Amino acid sequence: MRIVVVGGVAAGMSAASRAQRFSADAQVVVFERGGFVSYGACGLPYVIGGEVGAFSDLVARTPAQMRARGIRVRTRHEVTDVDARAGTVTVLDRAAGRTTTEPYDRLLLATGVSPVRPDWAHTDLAGVHVLRDIPDGEALDASVRGAKRACIVGGGYIGLELAEALRARGLSVVLLEKGPEVAGRMLDRPLQAQVREELERGGVDVRCGVTVQGLTGRGHVTGLQTDRGLVRADVVIVAVGVTPNVELARAAGVRLGKTGAVAVNARQETNVPGVYSAGDNTESLHRVTRRRVHIPLGLPANRMGRVAGVNMAGGEARFPGVVGTGIFRTFGLGVARTGLTQAEAEALHLNAVSVDVTSTDHAGYHRSSRPIHVRLTGERGSGRLLGAQLIGHNHLSVKRVDVVAALLGERATAQDLFDADLAYAPPFSGVWDVLLVAADRLQRTL
């Protein structure tokens, strides 16, 4: 049994490890286009910001360590084509410039996503960056040294995390967002404003409703032309979203879903026999809506990879799906969500209602207590929970989103959440944890 994995980061490496562990007989080969495998891409902003010592710290396992576990890892090897009928892939050794054909019994597409580059971002100007992999991070880090003015384009996870990181590096930061507010795809509108205000407190010049039209500079970027005038910058980060890498899937005859990512079943099988897909390039089942979604995040990617690895090696595993959980920190603020926002629920024509509670994360009288805001969303009639959004001024306080995330997987009701016997001591929460306060209020409105 020869298992070929295309892509050696989260999903790919999880799959390779699992397959190898499940079946010692299987020959597992990983082709990775880049120079690094098995690293935590989510940590890149924190290396930039100085909270992680070095980019190499993000590497969980080196190719040599993987080889010691019986997995063949070929970095700088790019799979350029798939012949699903023949059961082969075409591999370009980028160092040698040589192409070979490699057979497979099972093929995993773990090709991830690429940052979206608007037309204006296709440039040769130095100082213009995206942040997806370690070389991106190293390039950005080099640009930041000696730079004074950064402009981040895009107010999503990466943009918001980088805003803090670049302020920590002493740069002035302008953040441009095309939409009316930051964190627009993550939170309902009232909560978005809270995030923007925190950025502003942190010294970020946030400008929403701004469209970038072009770049200025010769050799090195000096600014951005926008519909609201010129923004000077000697470092520009383009963080306007990602798009799944599906070229190989197309080549293999693999069906894509409506989201544009690869369609799979719960075993991570595509429509092409022997071809699996996992990770950021792949759709997943949303357990609240039962629809297929494309949510490229670390945990689902790793989880899909494990499932694919077991199944490719002859085992039986199923991906349970996601509930749309996400979390980030920007400056002092923790921001988390799970399930559906009110806006998302309404777009799906669910009879949704949300309640907002502002309280403290710990007992109000305890000196460690900080404000926390919870928006909890439920469905009228059924009483079931649909989602939660949290903003906490001690960032760690929003990790309690996990309670709702876990209950969403059980299709629990607001009453179930209210009945939960949550932990209480003054340095941890109020006697009624803010989640319970929100659940109480929600179940009385449902």
- Give me the residues that bind a copy of itself (CB under 8 A), please: 10, 40, 42-43, 46, 51-53, 57-58, 161, 287, 297-300, 302, 320-329, 334, 336, 338, 363, 365-368, 394-403, 405-410, 412, 416-417, 419-429, 431-433, 435
Task: Show the tokens assigned to 110.
Answer: 């773990």
Residue 353 near residue 380, CB atoms below 8 Å: yes
Cβ proximity to a copy of itself: between 51 and 105 the closer is: 51
127 or 159, CB closer to a copy of itself? 159
Coil, strand, or helix at residue 426?
coil
DSSP secondary-structure letter at 439? H
The CA–CA distances, whole Å, from 166 to 134, 140, 148, 237, 444 equal: 17, 10, 10, 11, 44
| Helix boundaries (H) for 219-297 | 247-251
220 forms beta bridges with: 126, 218
Q: Which of 1, 2, 42, 59 is catalytic?
A: 42
Q: How far is the CB of 218 from a copy of itself (least distance, A)?
A: 37
Quick one: 87 or 378, whose CB is closer to a copy of itself? Answer: 378
Nearer to a copy of itself, 147 or 414 (CB): 414
Phi, psi of 45 (to 5 degrees): -60, -30
270 SS3 class: coil
437: left (phi over 0), alpha (psi -120 to 50) or beta: alpha
3-class DSSP string for 65-119: HHHHCCEEEEECEEEEEEECCCCEEEEEECCCCEEEEEECCEEEECCCEEECCCH
Shortest Å distance, C-beta 411 to a copy of itself: 9
The pair phi, psi for residue 298, each rounded to 5°, is: -60, -50
CB of 358 to a copy of itself, least distance (A): 17
Altogether, the residues listed in the chain come to a count of 446
Cβ–Cβ under 8 Å, residues 57 and 50: no
- Give dist(CA 16, CA 71) in Å, integer: 7
Least distance to a copy of itself, CB of residue 87, Å:
32
Closer CB to a copy of itself, 231 or 437, in the complex: 437
Q: How far apart are CB 400 and a copy of itself at their closest, in Å?
A: 6
Closest-CA residue to 122 (of 235, 223, 214):
214
Neighbouring CB atoms inside 10 A of 146's CB total 8
User: For a copy of itself, which is the closer residue by CB, 10 or 446?
Assistant: 10
Name the strand (E) or helix (H) holding 404.
Answer: helix 401-409
In three-state secondary structure terms, 136 is helix
Mapped onto helix, strand or coil, the DSSP state of residue 444 is helix
- Pairwise CA distance, residues 430 & 245, whole Å: 46
Instruction: Name the residue nearer to a copy of itself (CB basis): 118 or 409.
Output: 409
Least gap, CB of 243 to a copy of itself (angstroms): 22
- Contact by Cβ (8 Å): 159, 176: no
Least CB distance to a copy of itself at residue 22 (A) = 12
Degrees (nearest 5) of the Cα angle 47, 52, 58?
A: 80
Does residue 42 carry a catalytic annotation? yes
DSSP state of 395: G
Residue 79 or 345 having the CB closest to a copy of itself = 345
Task: Give min distance, CB of 212 to a copy of itself, in A.
Answer: 27
Q: Which residues are catalytic?
A: 42
